[in-house]
Chains A and B, each alone.
Chain A
């Protein structure tokens, strides 16, 4: 009994419309449609309907994805939330297999654990919020004690570091301090521009984090740009437009690269 003689089922007409009809049934369905013009007209209408529906909603799928649906942002938000909830989040993330996510976002970087970046950025932002808000004593050592601060921080971090010079960008150096993080001591350098917007540069030695390119991190009140270079984590934090922050982060990174 050949397939050809089997009567045509309604399901097969829809499969024909959707282009998923078995190849060997194709001739039988086509013949059936030729012999039944009324049904052929109906099937033609379904085909037109299918094409029109695809057209009607095509535009939505072609639009750029709104920022709040950006996957990178959602993952970052999730990581910073988890980090706040539980300092051991790094272990959980590795357990979840999310550790590999870093490689994807960092596009072929050395893929440190994304929790490391989250921790670094969180520590930088916390210290930024606490000390830039301080009217009387935002820094431990002021601009005039630049060399003293560099020595002090370098000793405690066990890594040579000096405050970057951002005067060419309109940011004057205010001073800095040694800051505390869950991962040990960090250096914080503070700057201000003509509009009295305060910017901090945060330096934190990390253990076995390799390198990661600059990435944007956003928190409720400020944004930051964080990166890791040969086991040293850096973050630039300020209430500034992302593009401006990014530009400053590039400059800071180049200066640190030149000195280390």
Chain B
């Protein structure tokens, strides 16, 4: 087995793993913690791999499973620390984007989506996973991927198009 190849494939995936974790958790530090745990777990499981194929989907699967068990732990905790809204929401934006209402609204709206829709949207739209790969990563049927994608996109559209009206109104005033 070409471990050498797997390791360099894993390394290539780290930026994408950080991007997905950041978009999902909305907090840079939590995101890097998740990526760290994912990489450690991947190294633990390295010997179970047969070849270099699908390293990316494999890593996203490991990370998704860690994320889900993290969510479960947080849910079993008493109230407080809501998972949805976060003060770090805008941290994922570049400084020049912060002034850009469109981006800020979009990320804020994304954060209001249920996590199931958010993860599908991110895996497909941002990480370029195929529908089948996304289904494998999330452990759901491909039909569920499609319906979550459709619902997520439509809700996101309604939320952002609703908000885009505001600047127009200001201009009129």
User: A99's closest neighbor in chain B, by CB?
Assistant: B3
> Interface size class for chain A?
35 or more
Interface segment, one of A53-61, A142-150, A223-231, A247-255: A53-61
Pairwise interchain contact B125-A68, C-beta atoms closer than 8 A: no
Interface segment, one of B7-15, B67-75, B79-87: B7-15
Interface segment, one of A70-78, A128-136, A162-170, A208-216: A70-78
Interface segment, one of A23-31, A43-51, A177-185, A198-206: A43-51
Q: How far is the CB of A17 from chain B (nearest CB, A)?
A: 8
Neighbour of B36 across the interface among A17, A68, A95, CB < 8 A: A68
Neighbour of A75 across the interface among B43, B47, B106, B156, CB < 8 A: B43
Contact of A49 with B19 at beta-carbon distance under 8 Å, contacts A71-B7, A100-B2, A104-B4 already known: no
Q: Does B135 contact A (CB under 8 A)?
A: no
Q: Mark A1-42, 1 if CB is under 8 A from B, else 0.
A: 000000000110011011010000000000000000000001
Whole-angstrom distance between the alpha carbons of A14 and B152 in the complex? 11
Whole-angstrom distance between the alpha carbons of A69 and B154 in the complex? 36
Whole-angstrom distance between the alpha carbons of A54 and B125 in the complex? 7
Neighbour of A60 across the interface among B7, B92, B156, B157, CB < 8 A: B92
Q: Which residues of A contact B131 (CB under 8 A)?
A: 15, 20
Whole-angstrom distance between the alpha carbons of A57 and B90 in the complex? 11
Q: Does A97 contact B (CB under 8 A)?
A: yes
Whole-angstrom distance between the alpha carbons of A67 and B118 in the complex? 28
Contact of A56 with B93 at beta-carbon distance under 8 Å, contacts A49-B157, A71-B10 already known: yes
Q: How far is the CB of A12 from chain B (nearest CB, A)?
A: 10
Q: How far is the CB of B146 from chain A (nearest CB, A)?
A: 5
- B-side interface residues, number (CB < 8 Å): 48
Instruction: Give residues of chain B (119-146) contacting chain A, Cβ–Cβ below 8 Å.
Output: 121-122, 124-126, 130-131, 146
Q: Does A103 contact B (CB under 8 A)?
A: yes
Pairwise interchain contact A101-B39, C-beta atoms closer than 8 A: no
Q: Does B116 contact A (CB under 8 A)?
A: no
Instruction: Give residues of chain B (22-36) contacting chain A, Cβ–Cβ below 8 Å.
Output: 22-23, 32, 35-36
User: A62's closest neighbor in chain B, by CB?
Assistant: B15
Q: Which residues of A contact B47 (CB under 8 A)?
A: 95-98
Q: Which residues of B contact A49 (CB under 8 A)?
A: 106, 125, 153, 156-157, 160
Pairwise interchain contact B92-A57, C-beta atoms closer than 8 A: yes
Neighbour of A52 across the interface among B94, B102, B154, B161, CB < 8 A: B102
Q: Does A196 contact B (CB under 8 A)?
A: no
Contact of A45 with B106 at beta-carbon distance under 8 Å, contacts A60-B22, A96-B47, A103-B4 already known: no
Whole-angstrom distance between the alpha carbons of A66 and B23 in the complex? 17
Q: Does A194 contact B (CB under 8 A)?
A: no
Q: How far is the CB of B12 from chain A (nearest CB, A)?
A: 10
Whole-angstrom distance between the alpha carbons of A75 and B8 in the complex? 12
Q: Does A258 contact B (CB under 8 A)?
A: no
Q: Which residues of A contact B107 (CB under 8 A)?
A: 56
Whole-angstrom distance between the alpha carbons of A103 and B5 in the complex? 10
Pairwise interchain contact B43-A74, C-beta atoms closer than 8 A: yes
5 A-B residue pairs with Cβ-Cβ distance under 8 Å, sorted by A, are: A49-B125, A53-B122, A57-B122, A65-B18, A101-B3
With A60-B15, A65-B15 already in contact, 9 other A-B pairs whose C-beta atoms are closer than 8 Å: A14-B153, A17-B153, A50-B125, A56-B106, A59-B92, A69-B32, A71-B10, A95-B47, A100-B3
**Leading 3 A-B pairs by shortest Cβ distance:** A61-B15, A104-B4, A61-B19
